[in-house]
């Protein structure tokens, strides 16, 4: 780690790790001057991202997404329910985000992390408004039965960029989702069909099918600090420089959502546009990674 | 219902004295001081240890030893039907207590006074034997965190169905209504730290089943010792 040797500066007398803990902002700024970050990434590069589909065998669709050390496990379970009066032809999606105490030293049992409900709401809004899933596809019998998809996302390791990783895991889980086969039994209730040969009843949907996904949303979180824009922050960077901007674009590069929840740095439009440009690049990378993961599964 | 076929095979094709496949990996949660993922067949749990660190609740400081806390929780999607209340329900609270007391028995708490050690266990997939899997994962996580222990703790369960003692029950066998014996041992000291059983069982058969569970615990110990990543 080459710290510039400024005379009269405390940095020459203190060890690197101590300096990092005592003066975190100055530690980072020394790196930013050289256009690099402590983990040797250039300012505009995101961490290594991987997706593994089918991580949870007992769920209808699941995925494990990792961005750097941040790990998210998403699983979807489908249940049959009666649709509401106003929308008899539509199913429903319930999205829940959990941060169990294993993910981070600052999460205490009995007191949920501050970030958890915020990310949960953001995810819910983004996924439902992006039009990725057409709720009419989740209908079974109009007015009587429809699918309720419960999407649960667990953070297994929280190292910054929680929303990005959670959205990626959610999207991957939906692309892995297979809707189970059901049929009507004699009481007029929907039951899961076990095997094709056994049931004399007519199945309501013919075969296990995948959900048709519309435009898929991908996101990138950037941190603004003075004139610098750092993409894909780690937890340490997020705690020191608090102003973050999250941009969500879909696969056709349309803006789905923009989120800048206050923060000390006031951004000019040009900074926001830079963030959007960085997101556009990131969307291409993520699309490629997702497609590789899906085609990897299909080979099996 | 037949749990052991006339040829001597169980529902998942195992023999009565055969354990499920064991797989473990340590250091999986980067942020934790120690962590481990452990799979026993289809049961998959992740354990993370934070500590020794400063006690968060001042009123709970113990002056001559470390405070050990444990929380057990199940993911919503871990069981066949989606769970409504994954923690705070009675079963989770009971298991949290059991794991805490089991691990407290083996941690040398007097070496770390006025500090706190947190053990968090999350069940990702539940297919019977979650208690044992959690204890085994917690042991590995504590070892990964470098926390001084008298000995490791390993655990395994055994049952008795169709007049046959069965080792390492899965969910279907566990919910069959037969007895379920869970044992936790300290292998080097050859002592039993955890012993739980429900349902009725004649004493001589119980000794048999408990002996079988202890054999299962020793098999876990062998796995831990032989896997090269755990050797220091």
Q: Which residues are A63's β-sheet partners? A: A53, A74
Nearest-Cα distance to chain A for B226, in Å, is 27
Q: How many CA atoms lie within 13 A of B101 on its CB side?
A: 9
Nearest-Cα distance to chain B for A81, in Å, is 14
Chain B interface disruption, residue of A47, A48, A58, A115, most B CBs within 10 A: A58
Q: What is the pLDDT of residue A194?
A: 52
Sheet containing A217-225: order of strands: A228-231, A217-225, A244-250, A255-259
What single DSSP character describes residue B56?
S
Inter-chain CB proximity A235 and B42 less than 8 Å: no
Listed as ranges, residues in chain A with pLDDT below 50 are 1-3, 5-8, 195-200
Residues B136 and B220 sit within 8 Å (Cβ to Cβ)? yes
- Residue B151 falls in which region: left (phi positive, over 0), alpha (psi -120 to 50) or beta: beta
DSSP A119-145: HHHHHHHHHHHHT-B-GGGGEEETTTE
Q: What is the pLDDT of residue B199?
A: 83
Contacts of A73 in chain B (CB under 8 A): 75, 124
Nearest-Cα distance to chain A for B231, in Å, is 24
Contacts of A69 in chain B (CB under 8 A): 30-31
Q: Which residues are A230's β-sheet partners? A: A223
Pair of tokens at residue A140 = 């079974």
Spacing of C-alpha B160 from chain mean position: 20
Distance CA B58, CA B71 (A): 19
Residues A58 and A152 sit within 8 Å (Cβ to Cβ)? no
Residues B124 and B43 sit within 8 Å (Cβ to Cβ)? no
Distance CA A194, CA A204 (A): 13
Instruction: Give residue-wise pLDDT tens across range B93-146.
Output: 999 999 999 999 899 999 999 999 999 999 999 999 999 999 999 999 999 999
Instruction: Give residue-wise pLDDT tens across range A106-144.
Output: 888 778 888 899 999 999 999 988 888 888 888 888 888
Q: Which of A102, A104, A150 is closest, CB to CB, to B76?
A: A150
Inter-chain CB proximity B122 and A56 less than 8 Å: no
Helix (H) or strand (E) segment spanning residue B102: helix B90-106
Q: What is the pLDDT of residue A300?
A: 52
Question: For chain B, where are the E strands, in sequence order?
Answer: 22-26, 34-40, 43-54, 67-74, 115-125, 154-161, 164-167, 180-186, 191-198
SS3 A153: strand
Distance CA A72, CA A287 (A): 18
Distance CA A44, CA B76 (A): 36
Q: What is the pLDDT of residue A121?
A: 94
Q: How many CA atoms lie within 13 A of B72 on its CB side?
A: 23
Please enumerate residues of A whose Cβ is less than 8 A from a Cβ of B.
56-59, 62, 69, 71, 73, 75-77, 79, 96, 98, 100-105, 108-109, 150, 152, 154, 156-159, 235
Closest CA to B104 of B44, B184, B32: B184
Inter-chain CB proximity A104 and B31 less than 8 Å: yes
Average pLDDT over residues B23-44: 93
Residues A235 and A159 sit within 8 Å (Cβ to Cβ)? yes
Closest CA to B81 of A154, A57, A78, A148: A78
Q: Which residues of A252-277 are buried (b: 16+ CB within 10 A; e: fewer)?
A: eeeebbebbeeeebebeeebbebbbe
Nearest-Cα distance to chain B for A9, in Å, is 31
Residues with Cβ < 8 Å from B222, sequence gap 6 or more?
A: none
Nearest-Cα distance to chain A for B181, in Å, is 26
Q: Is the pLDDT of residue B226 over 70?
A: yes
Sign of torsion, CA B29 A234 A247 A114?
Answer: positive
Pair of tokens at residue A83 = 């649709």
Chain length of chain A: 300
Q: Which of B32, B79, B80 is closest, CB to CB, to A102?
A: B32
Residue of A nearest to B76 (CA): A152
Please enumerate residues of B whose Cβ is less than 8 A from a Cβ of A.
28-32, 35, 42, 46-48, 50, 53, 56, 69, 71, 73, 75-80, 82, 118, 120-122, 124-125, 127
Inter-chain CB proximity A102 and B76 less than 8 Å: no
What interface predicted TM-score (ipTM) does this complex get? 0.82
Inter-chain CB proximity A159 and B53 less than 8 Å: no
Q: What is the pLDDT of residue A6?
A: 47
Backbone dihedral angles phi then psi of residue A170, each to the nearest 5 degrees: -65, -45
Residues B87 and B134 sit within 8 Å (Cβ to Cβ)? no
Inter-chain CB proximity B124 and A235 less than 8 Å: no
Pair of tokens at residue B232 = 């220091």
Supply angle C-alpha A147, A150, A152, rounded to 5: 165
Residue of A nearest to B29 (CA): A157
Q: Which of B28, B71, B76 is closest, CB to CB, to A101?
A: B71
Inter-chain CB proximity A108 and B78 less than 8 Å: no
Instruction: Give residue-wise pLDDT tens across range B175-206.
Output: 888 899 999 999 999 999 999 998 888 899 99
Average of per-residue pLDDT values in chain B:
90
Q: Is the pLDDT of residue B85 over 80?
A: no
Q: What is the pLDDT of residue A136?
A: 87
**Helices A162-176, A115-130: crossing angle, 10 deg rounding:** 50
pTM of this structure: 0.87
Q: What is the pLDDT of residue B86?
A: 63
């Amino acid at each position: 780690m080459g710290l510039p040797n400024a005379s009269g500066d405390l940095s020459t007398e203190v060890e690197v790790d101590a300096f990092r803990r005592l003066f975190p902002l100055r530690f980072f700024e020394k790196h930013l001057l050289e256009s690099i970050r402590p983990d040797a990434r250039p300012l505009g590069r995101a961490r290594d991202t991987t997706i593994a589909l089918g991580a949870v065998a007992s769920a209808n669709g699941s995925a494990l997404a990792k961005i750097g050390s941040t790990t998210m496990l998403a699983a979807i379970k489908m249940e049959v329910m009666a649709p509401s009066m106003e929308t008899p032809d539509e199913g429903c999606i319930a999205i829940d985000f959990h941060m169990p105490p294993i993910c981070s030293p600052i999460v205490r049992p009995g007191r949920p992390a501050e970030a958890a409900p915020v990310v949960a709401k953001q995810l819910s809004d983004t996924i439902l408004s992006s039009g990725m899933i057409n709720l009419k596809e989740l209908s079974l019998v109009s007015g009587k039965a429809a699918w309720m998809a419960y999407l649960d996302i667990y953070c297994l390791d929280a190292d910054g960029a929680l929303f990005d990783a959670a959205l990626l895991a959610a999207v991957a889980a939906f692309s892995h989702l297979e809707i189970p086969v059901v049929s009507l039994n004699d009481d007029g209730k929907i039951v899961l069909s076990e095997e094709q040969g056994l049931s004399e009843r007519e199945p309501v949907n013919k075969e296990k099918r995948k959900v048709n996904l519309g435009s898929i949303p991908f996101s990138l979180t950037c941190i603004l600090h003075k004139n610098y824009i750092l993409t894909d922050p780690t937890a340490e960077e997020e705690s020191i420089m608090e102003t973050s901007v999250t941009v969500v674009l879909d696969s056709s590069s349309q803006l789905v959502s923009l989120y800048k929840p206050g923060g000390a740095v006031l951004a000019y439009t040009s900074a926001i546009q830079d963030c959007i440009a960085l997101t556009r690049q990131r969307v291409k990378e993520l699309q490629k990674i997702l497609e590789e993961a899906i085609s990897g599964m299909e080979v099996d | 219902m037949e749990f052991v076929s006339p040829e001597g095979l169980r529902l998942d094709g195992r023999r009565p004295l055969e354990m499920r496949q064991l797989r473990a990996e340590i250091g999986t949660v980067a942020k934790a001081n120690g962590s481990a993922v452990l799979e026993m067949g289809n049961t998959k749990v992740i354990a993370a240890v934070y500590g020794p660190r400063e006690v968060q609740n001042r009123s709970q400081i113990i002056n001559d030893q470390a405070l050990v806390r444990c929380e057990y929780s199940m993911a919503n999607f871990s069981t066949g039907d989606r769970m409504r209340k994954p923690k705070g329900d009675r079963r989770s609270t009971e298991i949290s207590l059991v794991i805490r007391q089991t691990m407290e028995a083996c941690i040398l708490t007097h070496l770390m006074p006025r500090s706190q050690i947190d053990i968090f266990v999350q069940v990702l997939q539940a297919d019977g034997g979650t208690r044992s899997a959690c204890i085994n994962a917690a042991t590995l996580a504590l070892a990964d965190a470098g926390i001084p222990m008298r000995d490791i703790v390993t655990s395994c369960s055994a049952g008795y169905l169709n007049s046959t003692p069965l080792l390492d029950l899965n969910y279907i066998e566990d919910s069959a209504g037969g007895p379920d014996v869970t044992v936790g041992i300290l292998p080097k000291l050859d002592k039993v730290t955890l012993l739980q059983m429900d349902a009725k069982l004649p004493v001589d058969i119980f000794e048999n089943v408990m002996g079988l569970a202890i054999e299962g615990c020793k098999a876990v110990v062998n796995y831990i010792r032989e896997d090269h990543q755990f050797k220091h």
